[in-house]
Chains A and B, each alone.
Chain A
Amino acid sequence: GAVVSQHPSRVICKSGTSVKIECRSLDFQATTMFWYRQFPKKSLMLMATSNEGSKATYEQGVEKDKFLINHASLTLSTLTVTSAHPEDSSFYICSARDLDRENIQYFGAGTRLSVL
């Protein structure tokens, strides 16, 4: 399967700081990437759809000024959690859609964010 790299895998930060998470498709070009959030024993919740060269599409209830998404190239999308607060602590996962492989979404390993 295709490879998606997500970095960092874990981050601990103080309240009020901003955290950037990177998602890279390593062996394919991804015009579309997705950002999810997952709480313990819950399903993946789609936060936003990131399209290369255009603005991200956010799901209802997701603050776009809080979760900044940039998809500047066909292999990289970033999610920045701005002015993080303890309630932002969660598991964030990205995925990239491979058009050459039946539009299957391939996922990164996830980022565990802990805001103190």
Chain B
Amino acid sequence: SQKIEQNSEALNIQEGKTATLTCNYTNYSPAYLQWYRQDPGRGPVFLLLIRENEKEKRKERLKVTFDTTLKQSLFHITASQPADSATYLCALGCAGGNNRLAFGKGNQVVVIP
């Protein structure tokens, strides 16, 4: 069966450190992968998109890697700040089919001042 796995335990991290989140998937062949941030009671906010032929993407303090052999994406927040505290969702997109996304459950990050 198809699975998208993100760590269900919250990641508590000291301010200034790098937070690293993992997204593993099974029985998917995504053409691209997206990361979103979601705050409580709010809709997801788009952060980064990485395609299957890309190894790494960066945007400001964020970095995403995509390993189609390991079927894994890593999401890094460098120099983390308390304002980065939120739940981060990974979403897999397959070509065609209206570009529907399949979401993981999300991984909560808590940045401690």
Residue of A nearest to B106 (CB): A43
Q: Are B99 and A44 in contact (CB under 8 A)?
A: no
Q: Are B43 and A93 in contact (CB under 8 A)?
A: yes
Interface-located stretch among B14-22, B44-52, B78-86: B44-52
Q: Are A44 and B98 in contact (CB under 8 A)?
A: no
Q: Are A107 and B43 in contact (CB under 8 A)?
A: yes
Q: Are B103 and A107 in contact (CB under 8 A)?
A: no
Q: Using a CB-CB cutoff of 8 Å, which residues 45-77 of chain B contact chain A?
A: 45-46, 49
Give CA–CA (A112, B45) in the complex, Å.
17
B105: which A residues are within 8 A, CB to CB?
A: 41-43
* Shortest Cβ gap from B49 to chain A (Å): 6
Query: Which of A42, A46, A103, A110 has the most CB atoms of chain B within a 10 A radius of its CB?
Result: A103
Q: Are A110 and B41 in contact (CB under 8 A)?
A: yes
Q: Are A49 and B100 in contact (CB under 8 A)?
A: yes
Residue of A nearest to B105 (CB): A43
A95: which B residues are within 8 A, CB to CB?
A: 43
Give B residues with C-beta under 8 Å from A.
4, 34, 36, 41-46, 49, 89, 93, 98-106
Q: List 29 A-B contacts (CB under 8 A).
A: A1-B45, A1-B46, A32-B98, A34-B100, A34-B101, A41-B105, A43-B103, A43-B106, A44-B103, A46-B102, A49-B100, A93-B44, A97-B98, A97-B99, A102-B49, A103-B93, A103-B99, A104-B46, A105-B34, A105-B99, A105-B101, A106-B46, A107-B44, A109-B42, A109-B43, A110-B41, A110-B42, A110-B43, A112-B41
